[in-house]
C-alpha cells in the first residue's frame, strides 16, 4: 500500500502504540512502528532457523546507506553506520585529534544548553589538550521564548582560534531549530568546521548538507526516524574523510576487509572506514523500514504536518494560560513544544498524565511534548483536557 499522511495519521495498525498511549515523547525514544517490528520478527525468525544471515541483507544495508544519504543530500560514500549520536560526535572530536591534532588554545564553539552527547567529547579535549570551549548561553526574549542567539554563535565562530562549531539542529529542551544555512555559510567562508547533532530533526526537518555547508552530522535512529535503539548514521564530507581518523580500529575499517589472510592496513576510501566490525544488522534493517516510509511521505510534508500539529497544540495550551518556551518564528520551530502551566508543578503534571496513559516528559524544569506525524489533533485536545489547565 502506498503510504500517505492521510492513511497513516491515527492508524493503529501502522502505529500500535496508538492503542495504548497518547505518546508525545518522540524527542526521547519513539515507539516502534509495526513495519519495524515486522522486520525484527522476520530477522529473529530467520536467525533462529538458519546459521547465517539471509542473502540480500548486505544489499538492504547498502540501500539504507543510500536512503540516509538521500535524506540529507549527501553521497552514500559519505555515510557510516554508528550505534548512537555520541559515537558519531566522538568520532569527529577524537578523529581530528589523532590525524590533524588539536592545539592548546584552539577553540570549539557550542551552545551551553547542548545535550551532553555534544558537550562531554569537547570537555575531554579541554581537559587533556587545553582546547578552549566557548559555550554560548541561552537567553529569554521579550516574548519569553528561549533561544541560543545566532549572532553570538557567529561572533564566536569568527575568533581566529575557532576551529569548529558544534550545534544541535534542534535543541532537545526548547525545540529551537538552528539556522544551519546561515551558520554553515559563515563557517565555510571563515574556514571553520561545522558539526551538527541532527538526532532531533533527521527525518522530519529538511537537511541539505551541501546547501547548508555542513561538514559533519551525526544522528541516532531512535527518535524522529522511529528506528530501533542502537542505530544511527554519521556523515563526513568527502573532502574531510582523510582528516578524520577512525575512532575504533578493527577488521572492517580496511579496504580488503573480507580477505583475512592478506593483511593490508589501508583504510577504505569512504566513510565505511568508520565502521570497525560487525554492524547492528537487525537494528539497521528496522531503521531501513522506518526511513523508507518517511522518505515516501517526504520531508516537506512531514515538516508541514509537524508544524500543523504543534501550532494546534500551542494554540490549545495558550488558550488555557500555558507559557510556551519554544521559539516559533520562521525556521525556528520543530516537533518539540516546551511549556509551563503557571502555578503547577511540571513533575506532578507529567506523573498525573502518565497515570492516564498520556506521555509527556519534563526537561529543564518544563513540560516537553513532542508529537510525531501520526498523532492527531483530536489526541492533542485530549492532552490539553487532561492537563486540566
Ligand atoms: C540533541 C541530542 N543529542 C543526542 C542524544 C542522544 O544521544 P545518543 O544517540 O548518543 O544516545 C539526544 C537524546 O536525547 C539528544 O536530544
Q: What is the pLDDT of residues 44-102, one digit of tens each?
A: 999 999 987 788 899 999 999 999 999 999 999 999 999 999 999 999 999 998 777 89
Predicted confidence band at 123 (pLDDT cuts at 50, 70, 90)? very high
Distance (Å) of CA 290 to CA 76, 151, 296, 297:
18, 36, 10, 11
> Half-sphere exposure of 303 toward its Cβ, with a 13 Å CA cutoff?
13
Q: What pLDDT shows up at residue 389? A: 57
28-42 pLDDT, tens digit per residue, is 999 999 999 999 999
Kindly state if the Cβ of 86 falls inside 6 Å of ligand 1.
yes
The answer to whether the CB of 67 is under 6 A from ligand 1 is no
- All three cell numbers of 177: 531549530
Distance from the CA of 53 to the center of ligand 1, in angstroms?
Answer: 30
Mean residue pLDDT of the chain comes to: 96
For residue 98, the CA-to-ligand 1 centroid distance in Å is 24
The pLDDT tens digits of the residues spanning 199-242 come to 999 999 999 999 999 999 999 999 999 999 999 999 999 999 99
Q: What is the pLDDT of residues 305-331, one digit of tens each?
A: 999 999 999 999 999 999 999 999 999
**pLDDT tens digits, one per residue of 259-310:** 999 999 999 999 999 999 999 999 999 999 999 999 999 999 999 999 999 9
- For residue 168 and ligand 1, the question of a CB distance below 6 A is answered with yes
Q: Whose CA is closest to 62, among 79, 45, 87, 46?
A: 79
Please write the tens of the pLDDT for every residue from 341-377. 999 999 999 999 999 999 999 999 999 999 999 999 9
Q: Which residue, 248, 245, 318, 301, is CA-closest to 278?
A: 248
The yes-or-no verdict on residue 21 having pLDDT over 80 is yes
**Residue 29 Cα to ligand 1 middle (Å):** 10
CA 222 to centroid of ligand 1, rounded, Å: 9
Determine if ligand 1 sits within 6 Å of the CB of residue 361. Answer: no
Dist. CA 283–CA 221, nearest whole Å: 9
pLDDT at 55: 81
The Cα–Cα gap between 77 and 256 comes to 16
Q: What is the pLDDT of residues 130-179, one digit of tens each?
A: 999 999 999 999 989 999 999 999 999 999 999 999 999 999 999 999 99
Residue 101: the pLDDT is 84
Protein residue closest via CA to atom 16 of ligand 1 = 172
Give me the pLDDT at residue 34, please: 98
Please give the distance, rounded to the nearest whole angstrom, from the Cα atom of residue 168 to the centre of ligand 1: 10
Ligand 1 closest atom vs CA 171: 1
In angstroms, rounded to a whole number, what is the distance separating the alpha carbons of residues 183 and 194? 8
Grid cell, residue 99, equals 590525524
Whether 5 shows a pLDDT value over 60: the answer reads yes
Amino acid at each position: 500500500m502506498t503510504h500517505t499522511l492521510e492513511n497513516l495519521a491515527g492508524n493503529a495498525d501502522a502505529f500500535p502504540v496508538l492503542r495504548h498511549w497518547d505518546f508525545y515523547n518522540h524527542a526521547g525514544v519513539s515507539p516502534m512502528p509495526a513495519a519495524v517490528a515486522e522486520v525484527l520478527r522476520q530477522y529473529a525468525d530467520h536467525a533462529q532457523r538458519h546459521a547465517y544471515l539471509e542473502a540480500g541483507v548486505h544489499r538492504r544495508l547498502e540501500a539504507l546507506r543510500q536512503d540516509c544519504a538521500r535524506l540529507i543530500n549527501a553521497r552514500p560514500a559519505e555515510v557510516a553506520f554508528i550505534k548512537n549520536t555520541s559515537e558519531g560526535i566522538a568520532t569527529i572530536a577524537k578523529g581530528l585529534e589523532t590525524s590533524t591534532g588539536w592545539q592548546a588554545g584552539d577553540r570549539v564553539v557550542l551552545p551551553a544548553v547542548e545535550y551532553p552527547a555534544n558537550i562531554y567529547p569537547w570537555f575531554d579535549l579541554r581537559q587533556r589538550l587545553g582546547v578552549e570551549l566557548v559555550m554560548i548561553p541561552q537567553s529569554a526574549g521579550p516574548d519569553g521564548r528561549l533561544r541560543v542567539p545566532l549572532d553570538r554563535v557567529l561572533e564566536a565562530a569568527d575568533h581566529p582560534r575557532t576551529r569548529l562549531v558544534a550545534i544541535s539542529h534542534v535543541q532537545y529542551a526548547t525545540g529551537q531549530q538552528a539556522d544551519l544555512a546561515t551558520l554553515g555559510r559563515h563557517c565555510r567562508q571563515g574556514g571553520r568546521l561545522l558539526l551538527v547533532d541532527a538526532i532531533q530533526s533527521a527525518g522530519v526537518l529538511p537537511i541539505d548538507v551541501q546547501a547548508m555547508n555542513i561538514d559533519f552530522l551525526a544522528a541516532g535512529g531512535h527518535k524522529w526516524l522511529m528506528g530501533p535503539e542502537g542505530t544511527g548514521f554519521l556523515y563526513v564530507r568527502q573532502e574531510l574523510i582523510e582528516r578524520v581518523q577512525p575512532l575504533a580500529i578493527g577488521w572492517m575499517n580496511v579496504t580488503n576487509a573480507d580477505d583475512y589472510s592478506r593483511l593490508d592496513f589501508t583504510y577504505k576510501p569512504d566513510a565505511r572506514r568508520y565502521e570497525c566490525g560487525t554492524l547492528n544488522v537487525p537494528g539497521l534493517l528496522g531503521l531501513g523500514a522506518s526511513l523508507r516510509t518517511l522518505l515516501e511521505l517526504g520531508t516537506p510534508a512531514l515538516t508541514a504536518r509537524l508544524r500543523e500539529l504543534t501550532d494546534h497544540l500551542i494554540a490549545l495550551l495558550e488558550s488555557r494560560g500555558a507559557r510556551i518556551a519554544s521559539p516559533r518564528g520562521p525556521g525556528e520551530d520543530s516537533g518539540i513544544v516546551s511549556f509551563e502551566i503557571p502555578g503547577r508543578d511540571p513533575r506532578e503534571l507529567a506523573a498525573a498524565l502518565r497515570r492516564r496513559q498520556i506521555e509527556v516528559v519534563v526537561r529543564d524544569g518544563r513540560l516537553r511534548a513532542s508529537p510525531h506525524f501520526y498523532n492527531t489533533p483530536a489526541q492533542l485536545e485530549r492532552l490539553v483536557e487532561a492537563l486540566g489547565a
